[in-house]
A and B are shown apart, each in its own frame.
Chain A
C-alpha cells in the first residue's frame, strides 16, 4: 500500500505543478480567427492526458481478454474488467472536457466528429460490457462471455474511427500538434501523471475485488 500512496503523491505533485504552469504561467496564444481560443487552449492539458489513459485502459482490456481466453486465468478477467471500468470513468471526463471546449471552439457541444464519435461509441461498448457482466453470476461463463465481447468491442471502435474518417474532421490534429518545448514538457508531465493515477486505480480496484472474494469465502 505504501507504494500506492507514494506513486499517487508523485502523480498529485506532477498534476499540481502542471496545472500551475497551465493555468497561471503559460501566456495566452494568439488566435485572431477565434478569440476565445486564446485562453481555451489550456484545456488540452487536461483533455489529452485523461483521454490517453482512458484508451490505454480499453487496450489493456483487449489484451487481458485475449490472454484470458488463451490461459483461462481469472487474473486476466479481473484485469480486463477493472481496466475497462477505470477506462470508462476516464473517457467520461474526456467527453465532458471535450464538449466544454467544443462549444466555444466549434459553436456546438456535439458535432459527431470522428474522435468524438469513437470515444462515445467505445464508452457505450464498455457500458454494454458491464451490463453483460451484471447480468451473469461471477464465474467462468461470465469471464468467457465478457472476454469475447471485449475483443468485438475494441474492433468495433477501430471501425468507428475508420468509418468516420470518410468525413472531414474539425478536431485539431493530435500528432501534428505544435507546442512550445515548455508546453510539450508540461503536457508530457500531465500524461504521465494521468497514467500513474490510472494504473493505481486499476490496481486498487483489483485489490478491492480480491479482498471482497476473501471476505465472502471467509
Chain B
C-alpha cells in the first residue's frame, strides 16, 4: 500500500515537472510574444497569398483546400517550432535545463506541450481565417475537422520537437530542419490532409475516417516512443 502511494507520488511529480516546463515557456512567450507573433504574421500572409493565387481554383475544386491549409501549418511550424530548443541554446539556458532534476523525456514532453500550445493558438486563428478568405464550402462537422487538425498537429509537434534538437549543433540549422523534418512528416501530413478532405468536402463522419485517425494516432505513438528512447542521446553534449 505504501509503495503504491510512493509510485503514484513520483508520477504526479513528473507530470507536474512537465507541466511546469511547458507553462514556463508559455508564460515567457506570452510576455515577449517573439515567436507567436512571427508565426501568426507568417501564416496570415501565407493564407492571403494562397487565397489570391489559388482561391478561384479552390472554389471549383475544394479538395485543394485542405492541402493548402496544411501547407500553411507546415511552413509556420517549420518557422516556429524549432525555436523551443534553439531559444534555450541562444540564451545559454539549455545547460541549466539539462541540470534540472528532470529526465530528458520530461523535457521533451514539456517542450512538445509548449509547441502544441503554439500550434493550437495558430490553428484557432488561421482555420477560421482560411474559411473566410477561401469562402470554403464546409460539408461536414467543423468540430471534427478541428479535432483532426489538432491530432495532425500533435504528431507534428512531437516529431519536430524531437528532431529540432538534432540540428542544435549544426551549421545553418534553420535551413537544415525543414530538410530533415519534411520527409519524416510526409506520411502523417498526407493522411491528415486526406482525413480533413473527407470531413470538410465529403461531409463524412467520425467512423468513416477512422482508418486515417488510426494511422495518425499510431504514428504519434510510435514517434513518441522513438523520441523518448532516443532523446537522451539527442540532448547530450
A residues with a Cβ closer than 8 A to B are 69, 121-122, 124-125, 127-129, 131-132, 135-136, 141, 144-145, 147-149, 151-153, 155-156, 159-160, 162-164, 166
Contact yes or no, B187 A144, CB < 8 A: no
Cβ of B194 within 8 Å of any chain A Cβ, yes or no, is: yes
Cβ of B107 within 8 Å of any chain A Cβ, yes or no, is: no
User: Min CB distance, A181 to chain B, in Å?
Assistant: 38
12 A-B pairs with C-beta separation under 8 A:
A69-B233, A121-B186, A122-B183, A128-B179, A132-B170, A136-B169, A148-B230, A148-B233, A151-B230, A156-B185, A162-B218, A163-B191
Cβ of B75 within 8 Å of any chain A Cβ, yes or no, is: no
Cβ of B12 within 8 Å of any chain A Cβ, yes or no, is: no
* Interchain CA distance A180-B232 in the complex, whole Å: 52
Q: Which residue of B lies closest to A165 (CB)?
A: B215
The size class of the interface chain B forms with chain A is 35 or more
Cβ of B105 within 8 Å of any chain A Cβ, yes or no, is: no
List of B residues within 8 angstroms of A145 by Cβ: 166-167, 169-170, 234
List of A residues within 8 angstroms of B169 by Cβ: 136, 141, 145
List of A residues within 8 angstroms of B18 by Cβ: none
List of B residues within 8 angstroms of A151 by Cβ: 226, 230
The total of Cβ contacts below 8 Å across the A-B interface reads: 98
* Interchain CA distance A151-B234 in the complex, whole Å: 12
List of B residues within 8 angstroms of A152 by Cβ: 159, 162-163, 184, 223, 226, 230
List of A residues within 8 angstroms of B182 by Cβ: 124, 128
Contact yes or no, A166 B176, CB < 8 A: no
Contact yes or no, B237 A156, CB < 8 A: no
Contact yes or no, B179 A69, CB < 8 A: no
* Interchain CA distance A145-B165 in the complex, whole Å: 8
List of A residues within 8 angstroms of B184 by Cβ: 125, 128, 152-153, 156
The residue in B181, B184, B194 that gathers the most chain A C-beta atoms within 10 A of its C-beta is B184
List of B residues within 8 angstroms of A153 by Cβ: 183-184
User: Min CB distance, B187 to chain A, in Å?
Assistant: 4
Q: Which residue of B lies closest to A68 (CB)?
A: B233
